[in-house]
């Protein structure tokens, strides 16, 4: 009687490669025509993917939850008397306070992501999380608008690296088709922060005091302490890359590396050294720039909701108590969280992103038409559900699209940083979209958001047609002729200009 010994994932891989020899981290993963040189066992992949989901996602999701809460809780603090206590008498003082955050947030976006690549996400993400947790605590002690602006500027400086850093970090672990859903598992914390932040603020405000702090000051102090505690823990739970993961076997490490590398045309290393040409091609990539403008327009809505949802609800239900107004902001965000996961899940199984960007924009357009067409409180409250069910899912879809359209690790790091930087320019616009003089119906703010959604629909549709056109043009090229006379280093530096490259809609 013979016994069949089950093969490990690497043995399966080596057999599929017809005895190519040991897996070499610096070996080419594709041929000169862009075809993968690896064949993977689907069962081994599924087991590895489940393990990655359990060990990689939870830490970054929790950190991003409190990152967004520490940023958006100023809207809750506003309802609890922040403007009164800081003597913010100017009609635009609150908008100025919001804008200061975005100045540093935009400026430090790309530098932070390059630091993330150089230092490693396993150290960089926990470090900046600890810093903005401490800054959030310090916000509880500001005494006037000037001090508040200073603290918010520093907060933006540290928070700038979170969204691009985590997006880049996850691209080290997951395939192109898998990334949108995994990004959604941490970006879903943005709408959940709106829901959970409202609940948490309501609970905190029921306390008589916290130490020597009262009212809105307690919100910043307590939430900042929670953030700092999670950041310290993350130094031990966040693994930098597959090679350093103690919870992966050697076979699983090699499988994780080769899965990612097999989708990178002509690249020999998963984590390449920073190269000026690759940085430029990552920034100037036409699909990256298109996605960046889409994310810019999308963030006008997302950040506008984050900062002004409590104010908008207060104008719809002016007779409710402060705690009731905080609680009414929760249901739309819960619906938004659901859609933020469901649509990227569909994207994962279809390996499509652009079409979902096109479809979701139409719900945003519908929501703002309702805001502009009716003054009825119920209609306008229902409209917020249309907005949250669609605008939040564009974050994971947009960043996944950016990651899918880049080749090397270097170009991906700057491309994601560029996408998020443009997005936060939209956040800066959002801070001035809802002015007190425009209330209570805010036709200017709602009109601006409607125009932004329409621009997204136009941009995403035109980009889809261009990608298909350019892929057909590339199909006509002679790859051997295009690469003739080039060294391996020159071929690797071609990025999206490589003749074997195809856009992935």
Give the SS3 label for residue 207: coil
User: What pLDDT was estimated at residue 25?
Assistant: 53
In tens, the pLDDT along 326-373 reads 677 778 888 888 888 898 999 988 989 999 999 888 888 998 898 888
pTM, two decimal places: 0.79
In tens, the pLDDT along 489-502 reads 788 788 888 888 88
User: What pLDDT was estimated at residue 33?
Assistant: 62
Q: What is the largest CA-CA distance in the chain?
A: 88
Quick one: which H or E segment has residue 151?
A: helix 145-159
Which token pair is 148? Answer: 């508040």
Delineate the domains of the chain, giving CATH numbers in brackets.
56-248+274-471 (1.20.1250.20)
Work out the angle at residue 399's Cα, subtended by the Cα atoms of residues 61 and 268, and round it to the nearest 5 degrees: 100
HEC assignment per residue over 280-294: HHHHHCHHHHHHHHH
In tens, the pLDDT along 258-306 reads 888 887 776 777 777 877 888 898 899 999 999 999 999 998 888 777 6
Spans of the chain below 50 pLDDT:
1-23
What does the alpha-carbon distance between residue 206 and residue 183 come to, in Å, rounded to a whole number? 35
Which token pair is 102? Answer: 């975005």
Per-position DSSP letters for 429-463, written without gaps between them:
HHTTTS-GGGTTT-HHHHHHHHHHHHHHHHHHHHH
Work out the angle at residue 59's Cα, subtended by the Cα atoms of residues 56 and 65, and round it to the nearest 5 degrees: 130
């Amino acid at each position: 009687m013979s016994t069949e010994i089950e093969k490990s994932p690497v043995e399966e891989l080596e057999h599929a490669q017809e005895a190519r020899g040991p897996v070499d981290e610096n070996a080419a993963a594709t041929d000169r025509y862009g075809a993968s040189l690896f064949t993977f066992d689907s069962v081994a992949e599924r087991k590895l993917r489940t393990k990655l989901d359990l060990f990689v996602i939870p830490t970054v999701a929790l950190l991003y939850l409190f990152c967004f809460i520490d940023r958006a809780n100023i809207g809750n603090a506003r309802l609890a008397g922040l403007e009164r206590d800081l003597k913010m008498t100017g009609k635009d003082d609150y908008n100025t306070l919001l804008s200061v955050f975005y100045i540093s947030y935009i400026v430090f976006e790309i530098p932070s992501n390059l630091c993330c690549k150089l230092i490693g996400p396993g150290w960089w993400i926990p470090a900046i999380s600890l810093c903005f947790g401490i800054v959030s605590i310090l916000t509880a002690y500001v005494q006037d608008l000037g001090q508040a602006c200073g603290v918010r500027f520093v907060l933006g400086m540290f928070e700038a690296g979170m969204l691009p850093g985590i997006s880049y970090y996850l691209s080290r672990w997951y395939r192109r088709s898998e990334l949108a859903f995994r990004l959604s598992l941490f970006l879903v914390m943005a709408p959940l922060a709106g829901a959970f932040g409202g609940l948490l603020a309501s609970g905190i405000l029921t306390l008589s005091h916290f130490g020597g702090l009262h009212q809105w000051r307690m919100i910043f102090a307590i939430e900042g302490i929670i953030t700092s505690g999670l950041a310290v823990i993350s130094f031990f739970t966040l693994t930098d890359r597959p090679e350093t993961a103690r919870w992966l076997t050697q076979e699983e490490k090699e499988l994780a590396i080769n899965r990612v590398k097999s989708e990178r045309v002509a690249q020999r290393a998963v984590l390449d050294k920073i190269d000026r040409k690759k940085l430029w091609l990552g920034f100037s990539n036409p699909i990256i720039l298109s996605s960046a403008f889409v994310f810019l327009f999308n963030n006008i809505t997302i950040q506008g909701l984050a900062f002004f949802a409590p104010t908008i609800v207060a104008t719809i239900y002016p007779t409710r108590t402060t705690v009731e107004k905080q609680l009414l902001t929760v249901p739309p965000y819960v619906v938004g969280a659901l859609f933020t996961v469901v649509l990227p899940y569909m994207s994962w199984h279809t390996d499509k992103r652009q079409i979902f960007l096109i479809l979701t924009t139409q719900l945003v357009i519908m929501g703002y038409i309702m805001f502009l067409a009716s003054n009825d409180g119920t209609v306008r409250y229902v409209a917020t559900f249309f907005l949250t069910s669609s605008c939040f899912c564009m974050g994971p879809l947009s960043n996944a699209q950016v990651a899918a359209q880049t080749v090397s690790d270097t170009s991906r790091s700057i491309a994601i940083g560029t996408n998020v930087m443009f997005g936060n320019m939209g956040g800066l616009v959002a801070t001035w979209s809802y002015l007190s003089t425009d209330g209570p119906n805010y036709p200017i703010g709602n009109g601006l958001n409607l125009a932004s959604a329409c621009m997204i629909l136009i941009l995403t549709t035109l980009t889809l047609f261009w990608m298909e056109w350019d892929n057909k043009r590339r199909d006509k090229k002679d790859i051997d002729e295009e690469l003739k006379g080039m060294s391996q280093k020159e071929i690797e530096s071609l990025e999206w200009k490589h003749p074997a490259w195809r856009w992935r809609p």
